[in-house]
Amino acid sequence: MPIILPYVPRTITVHLGLPDQWAENVTVNFPDYVKNVASSEIYPTWEPAAIRANVLAIISFALNRVYTEFYPSRGYDFQITSTTQFDQKFIRGRNIFENISQVVDQIFNDYIRRQGFVEPLAAKFCNGTTSTCDGLSQWGSQELAQEGLNSMEILRRYYGDNIELVVDAPIQDITASYPGTPLRLGSVGQNVVIVQAMLNRISQNYPAIPKISPVTGIFEADTQAAVRVFQRIFNLTPDGVVGKATWYKMVYLYSGILQLAELVSQGQRFVTVQFQFSGPLEEGDSGPEVGILQYMLALLAQFDSSLSPISVDGQFGPATTRATRAYQQLMGLTPNGYVDETTWNSIYSSFAQADYFLRRDTVRAQSLREDAVPVMAREEAPGAGEAGRWDNTPRMGQYQGRPLELGQVDGRSGQRGVMV
């Protein structure tokens, strides 16, 4: 399982040749990469809707390569190649068409995906004349645009009615999915969830790997046993520790089994984990349950400055007590720093909502009007029946569609500050 939430990389490294062929790697700004590919693949004289549809396909395909770590998981030091045999045409130093450049500037951090799936669509395409494929026909898109179809209508003709447009995806430096330190017995958190989910899906094709049930986010003996079997099958050191080699072998197999880098992808879906109350916690306690508590409180602290930032170390010390008291006071609970079932369930309810909105992307209305602004999706969040503190929290980095100025506040009563 690659990175949970897709993003747009600030830069992308392009290999100027076939994957196994010696060639130079060049790193370019992502919008400049898209402009280069679009200027190499399509004509500036085409209808605006056709240009827009093709640019969205180019963006989505490139983001799929980044999201699935298609080349890094195979040991390469680049994200994509310049050859149409494997990827998209990129010609270093070529001229860029002005109208194509303007379209890319407007939508470079938008992409298409299947409804209910996480990963950007591996939106393959061909010219539709000298070559044909299961994806978009470039010349066919021009004909459809001339008939009056808009860009999403064109894309649905080729990729199906179950695609949607995600807008204003977060922009950041490329981040390797590997957490940076090995995961082992006693580890807690989202990265453990990812390992457990990957192993469970891989085990459907390799039944010798034992299932981990339920997925808890806690690296216990059952997870260690499953990791060891996985390592033995794939000739890795069977130490039960998920280091870099084991992690990327899992990513490679998981993406391949689900065909995440293919147009016929089975789809990556969000993994939800319910952290059940297992007993009271207080200062002096330690173990995985404390780690889960800290993990939830740490995420909530990103949403409200009155909550204390906290490290996840599995030790219930003074910092965890202060963070618990701050949360209890915020929610009208007795601020004693003692985590009973009421406090735990309240923290989990808030965590589930915050985690949901942090991951959720926004989807633009199908009209694709130029003045359309991002809108939050309408589905219910986990635990939405409670106080709803997080019910309108935007995704980190989500532009609200209007400028924010000195002195401005949100219009909703009881809301502190503006949504930034």
**What DSSP letter does each residue of 386-415 carry, written as one string?**
S--TTTTPPPTT---SS---TT---SSTT-
**Spatial separation of the C-alpha atoms in residues 177 and 194, rounded to whole Å:** 10
N-terminal to C-terminal alpha carbon distance within the chain: 30
Average pLDDT over residues 204-230: 91
Most confident of 99-113, 123-137, 243-257, 266-280: 99-113
Dump pLDDT digits (tens) for 5-35. 788 999 999 999 999 999 999 999 999 999 9
Query: Tokens representing 184?
Result: 């082992």
**Confidence (pLDDT) at 83:** 95
**Spatial separation of the C-alpha atoms in residues 9 and 173, rounded to whole Å:** 5
**Confidence (pLDDT) at 299:** 79
* Coil, helix or strand at residue 171: strand
Cα separation values, 239 from 228, 236, 246, Å: 6, 9, 10
Average pLDDT over residues 158-164: 93
Buried b (16+ CB within 10 A) or exposed e, 210-237: bebeebbbbbbeebbebbbbbbeebeee
Dump pLDDT digits (tens) for 293-317. 888 888 788 778 888 788 877 889 9
Please name the amino acid found at residue 158.
Y
Higher per-residue pLDDT: 368 or 165: 165
Q: Which of 75-79, 254-258, 264-268 has the lowest mean pLDDT?
A: 264-268
**Confidence (pLDDT) at 44:** 96
Q: Nearest CA to 146 among 254, 238, 49?
A: 49
210, pLDDT greater than 80: yes
**Confidence (pLDDT) at 176:** 83
Q: Are strands 11-15 and 80-81 parallel, antiparallel or unpaired?
A: parallel
Q: Are strands 136-137 and 125-126 parallel, antiparallel or unpaired?
A: parallel
Q: Which of 25-39, 176-190, 261-275, 395-409 has the lowest mean pLDDT?
A: 395-409
pLDDT class of 268 with cuts at 50, 70, 90: low
Q: What is the mean pLDDT of the chain?
A: 81
Average pLDDT over residues 368-397: 34
* Coil, helix or strand at residue 39: helix
**Confidence (pLDDT) at 2:** 43
Domains and CATH numbers, the chain: 8-172 (no CATH), 190-258 (1.10.101), 288-359 (no CATH)
Point out which residues pair with 20 in neighbouring strands: none
**Confidence (pLDDT) at 174:** 86
**Spatial separation of the C-alpha atoms in residues 199 and 210, rounded to whole Å:** 8
**Confidence (pLDDT) at 241:** 97
135: left (phi over 0), alpha (psi -120 to 50) or beta: beta
**Confidence (pLDDT) at 406:** 67
Average pLDDT over residues 322-331: 93
Q: What is the DSSP string of 123-157?
A: --EE-SSS---SSEEHHHHHHHHHTT--HHHHHHH
**Cβ distance 120 to 63 under 8 Å?**
yes
Higher per-residue pLDDT: 358 or 70: 70
366, pLDDT greater than 60: no
Dump pLDDT digits (tens) for 124-154. 999 888 888 889 999 999 999 999 999 999 9
368, pLDDT greater than 60: no
Query: Tokens representing 102?
Result: 């303007």
Higher per-residue pLDDT: 190 or 411: 190
**Confidence (pLDDT) at 405:** 61
246, pLDDT greater than 80: yes
**Spatial separation of the C-alpha atoms in residues 123 and 59, rounded to whole Å:** 9
Would you call 290 exposed, middle or buried from its count of C-beta atoms within 10 A (0-12, 13-18, 19+)? buried
369, pLDDT greater than 80: no
